[in-house]
Amino acid sequence: DQQVKQNSPSLSVQEGRISILNCDYTNSMFDYFLWYKKYPAEGPTFLISISSIKDKNEDGRFTVFLNKSAKHLSLHIVPSQPGDSAVYFCAASAIGAGSYQLTFGKGTKLSVIP
Amino acid sequence: ETGVTQSPTHLIKTRGQQVTLRCSSQSGHNTVSWYQQALGQGPQFIFQYYREEENGRGNFPPRFSGLQFPNYSSELNVNALELDDSALYLCASSLVARNTEAFFGQGTRLTVV
């Protein structure tokens, strides 16, 4: 039973345009959400996070939006750059419930075309 | 400040054998978590160690075990290897038990034949 779902295995975007990566979750105990980026032969790299008490968090070109009622979050990358091409993982944890494990989605492979 | 390092980077083992994977956490981090990433899947939580004690475990059988040492480095041991254990094993360290902004190593690619 997938508690964190990334329904798009891949996404192609032109350089300079906006990339939108989506993530849905089913566990209502999740209260902290993170996005990681992974290049081949490297470990995941932390990008940005959001607590369930917020609905938006920005860091430079990256913005994460959280819609708790829909159990949905999205990562916006503006403008997209070729170096953003990687696999993006959505992850969630239930810190308030004392569980610090991260539950990951299967990932979305982003390709930014020059 | 050194990042998270894992050894070895690649490993081939035979079904039924035992394997030990190692992880050095980032300087100052006292919490280490281990994840298994099968091909085409996201990482799956195996367990976490905080101050040398197991601090949470995912849905993995007891033949997956671990240790954390006083310097916060860690080992993942897998006994009686099965073909399905073939995966990328990732170690992540964080300053405290909460995994916000956990830092991952590059992983160990284990192949069981």
Residue by residue, pLDDT tens for chain A (114 residues) are 789 999 999 999 999 999 999 999 999 999 999 999 999 888 999 999 999 999 999 999 999 999 999 999 999 999 999 999 999 999 999 877 666 789 999 999 999 999
Output the pLDDT for position B94: 86
Residue B3 sits at the chain A interface (C-beta within 8 Å):
no
| Strand boundaries in A1-114, DSSP class E | 4-5, 10-14, 19-25, 32-38, 45-51, 56-59, 62-67, 72-77, 86-94, 99-104, 108-113
Interface subset of B 71-90, CB within 8 angstroms of A: 90
Sequence-distant (6+) residues with CB within 8 A of A58 are: none
Residue A11 sits at the chain B interface (C-beta within 8 Å):
no
Q: Which residue bears the tokens 């394997």?
A: B19
